[in-house]
Structure 1
């Protein structure tokens, strides 16, 4: 099996957030606008990568199939767990909060991954899903040039309607939608952070949902 680019290019992936600090802070702000405050103790990020989002949000657990990024996540205070989104190594109903950050574009079966998230969440739990919106103006550019990136070449970017359909199929009710990054991420300054309700205009889209 060919190693994941997130395994072989961990430094390149992680450095993107420093180089594009304005975009990174906008993404953090969008997540913070819909996730519980504080995040509950029994919390998990699926596809945690290097812990860039789980760490600052105090998400305690992070699962990922790639080992090198998990080492970085541990350094950011996240307890790392090796595993895949479609078969989570957690008990039924054992978590209060679960998040995916741009991960659904990389899983083989999004509905299966979300159904697993539904399984491990307690009935009153919260799910937050962030994705790169293919239907947004910047998302259209990403889609056109995705084959040029080692990280996005195999990604299947979603639209807001597709993400909502996956959530509904997995047994979730969408409660809130926000979006950010309305211009080239490399040109975004921290002072220009803009988080708006809805979807369709911003590249980075976030949904909060609860189990039905």
Structure 2
């Protein structure tokens, strides 16, 4: 079962974070867009309230939190209940999958990525966005996660660990970009750079052969 409790209980606070940090949000979107492939049918796993799907042109998502799904629906998105480990979609039914921060909140990340591999058509792409544990902000979140309403149940990964999980799930042609440079949220600088190791927010793209 995905760790949806904090998101179900604090949906409004989740939305407010993006309103309070518009520059950080904008750079996260730009980092994803840097690797965004052309697609005909895309799905976001853990679509939440649609904060990433909408600006990136994704109209459909999977979401375990009823309150978040309802809010995404009000924004015109189509949302189906489900979890990353058991995606309620047929084999090879989409050509692009987005998953932003969701990997930190699933019980079995490898199973989730294998499910994504299953629903992707051959040649399809997955993009995974997450906070890199091996950065100043990642270490700060990890140290203080029990003080956060959202990150208390999270599992933080390094970029190397996420890349290895993607390879084990069957993905290749991995490419990464990074953004949000600085030790704290109130000291972050934007810009998108290739690779990882500096920016707190990392995006990795992989392809199903």
In the superposition, the TM-score normalised over structure 1's length comes to 0.93
Helix, strand or coil at the partner of 1:166 = helix
Whether 1:186 aligns to 2:186 is yes
CA distance, structure 1, for counterparts of residue 192 and residue 143 of structure 2: 25
Instruction: Identify unmatched segments of 5+ residues in structure 2.
Output: none
What does 1:3-18 correspond to in 2, within 5 Å?
4-18=5-19
Helix, strand or coil at the partner of 1:105 = helix
Q: What does residue 113 of structure 1 align with?
A: 112
Q: Residues 110 and 19 from structure 1, CA distance in 2 versus in 1: closer, same or farther, beyond 3 angstroms?
A: same
CA distance, structure 2, for counterparts of residue 23 and residue 166 of structure 1: 26
Q: CA deviation at 1:187?
A: 4.0
Residues 100, 128 of structure 1: 8 Å contact kept:
yes
Q: CA deviation at 1:3?
A: 6.5
Structure 1 stretch displaced more, 134-143 or 11-20:
134-143
Q: What does residue 94 of structure 1 align with?
A: 93
Q: CA deviation at 1:165?
A: 1.1
Q: CA deviation at 1:25?
A: 0.5
Deviations 1:162-184 (A, max 9, x none): 10111011100143100000122
Q: Residues 3 and 128 from structure 1, CA distance in 2 versus in 1: closer, same or farther, beyond 3 angstroms?
A: closer
Q: Give the aligned length.
A: 207
CA distance, structure 2, for counterparts of residue 118 and residue 3 of structure 1: 23
Instruction: Identify unmatched segments of 5+ residues in structure 1.
Output: none
Cα RMSD of the aligned pairs, angstroms, is 1.5
Alignment partner for residue 195 of structure 2, among 189, 194, 198?
Answer: 198
Residues 181, 190 of structure 2: 8 Å contact kept:
no
Q: What does residue 169 of structure 2 align with?
A: 170
Structure 1 stretch displaced more, 136-145 or 116-125:
136-145
Deviations 1:40-82 (A, max 9, x none): 2311000111110001111121101101011121233321110
Q: Residues 206 and 200 from structure 1, CA distance in 2 versus in 1: closer, same or farther, beyond 3 angstroms?
A: same
Q: Residues 70 and 194 from structure 1, CA distance in 2 versus in 1: closer, same or farther, beyond 3 angstroms?
A: same
CA distance, structure 2, for counterparts of residue 81 and residue 3 of structure 1: 15
